Amino acid sequence: MDLDTLQQQLDEAASQAAAAAQAARTVEELRSIESRFLGKTGPVADAMAAIRSVPPEQRGAVGQLANRAKAGMSSSFQARHEELKRAASAGEQAKAALFDPTLPGPVVPRGSVHPVTAVQWEVEDIMARMGFVVVSGPEMESDYYNFEALNIPAMHPAREMQDTFHLENGLVLRTHTSNCQVRAMERFGAPLRVIGPGRCFRYETVDASHDNTFFQLEGLLIDRDISIANLIAVMKGLLQEVFSREVKVRLRPGYFPFVEPGFELDMSCAICGGAGCQTCKRTGWIEILPCGMVHPNVLRFGKIDPEEFTGFAFGLGLTRLAMMKFGVADIRLLNSGDIRALTPPERLGGPVVANCTATR
């Protein structure tokens, strides 16, 4: 290879590299240009590859030409890189200088209602149309209202079913909203139709469908001649209103000391459509409504004559109901700090939208 020709080619390449570098407007664009000239297919790499084909006495001269060309191009790229960095820094400083911290902030969309709250409001409206009144009970509860008055005396094995947080002041964190039952009976007597929504606590192993903090809604109806048929009718009517469609349910025996007989009312898993998934533990069913006929002992604790009145009670899992309604596969999202778990009101659909925008 003629050294003069190679020198001319490399000088021309260096001139083109300098011009291209000056034309670059961003660091990313400059890197692309640098790769084109100094990369494996660039003119410098071609000159270095040509060393093998020249006489041995010319190889040192060819290498020097290639190295000088590389150094010149690298200097052009480095200088332009510094210029672009200074320009970017100046632009940021100019933006900062224009910022006025005394100006009002931008208008942001209104916050949304938590999915569990949205479901609670909807269930309250549905039950209100059935004649139920909303009541409340304390989250820090006495052993009497949380256990004793619900036919669960001390040392009863059923207490093992509800892993309980015991407090140093002698109270407990309520394990269910059933603590509202006897309180409501004492206050209102019979006949009675109440619901008691609220937060509950259990020392449970956390997984996709269990958490140590969750929300329930207790329901209690006491009147003359109340039967299991009334219970099933109210439960199915409630679920059909919430999901705006026919809901597949099953009723199976369940043990709860404060009802006799007791049932587990399950609904087909809305996450997998009944096929089986992690949320429903591959069964296709989600336990959502433990229920039953009020035990005579509980009526007596509430100063109501079980010979004259009967009734039913149910504990609706609001957290699980929200999971089914909005397709939340993991219960832990609802108590997390991840704001993506909050569904904007306009995406809730159906009658919940009006409730979400209401002032409570």
DSSP string, 78-117: HHHHHHHHHHHHHHHHHHHHH--TTSPPPP-PPP---HHH
Q: Who contacts 75 (Cβ-Cβ below 8 Å, separation ≥6)?
A: none
pLDDT of 295 over the 60 cut: yes
pLDDT at residue 107 in the model: 66
Q: Predicted confidence band at 352 (pLDDT cuts at 50, 70, 90)? A: very low
pLDDT of 351 over the 60 cut: no
Q: What is the Cα–Cα distance from 176 to 313, expressed in whole angstroms?
A: 12
pLDDT at residue 350 in the model: 34
Q: Which is nearest to 313 in space by CA: 259, 266, 269? A: 259
pLDDT at residue 108 in the model: 59
Q: Who contacts 164 (Cβ-Cβ below 8 Å, separation ≥6)?
A: 146, 172, 173, 175, 202, 203
Secondary element (H or E) of residue 10: helix 3-23
Lowest mean pLDDT of 88-92, 154-158, 208-212, 352-356, name the range.
Answer: 352-356
**To the nearest whole number, what is the mean pLDDT of the chain?**
83
Residues 126-139, mean pLDDT to the nearest whole number: 92
Q: What is the Cα–Cα distance from 193 to 274, expressed in whole angstroms?
A: 33
Share of the chain above pLDDT 90, in %: 28
Residues 218-222, mean pLDDT to the nearest whole number: 94
| Tens-digit pLDDT profile for residues 99-130 | 777 877 766 566 678 888 888 999 999 999 99
Residues 331-336, mean pLDDT to the nearest whole number: 81
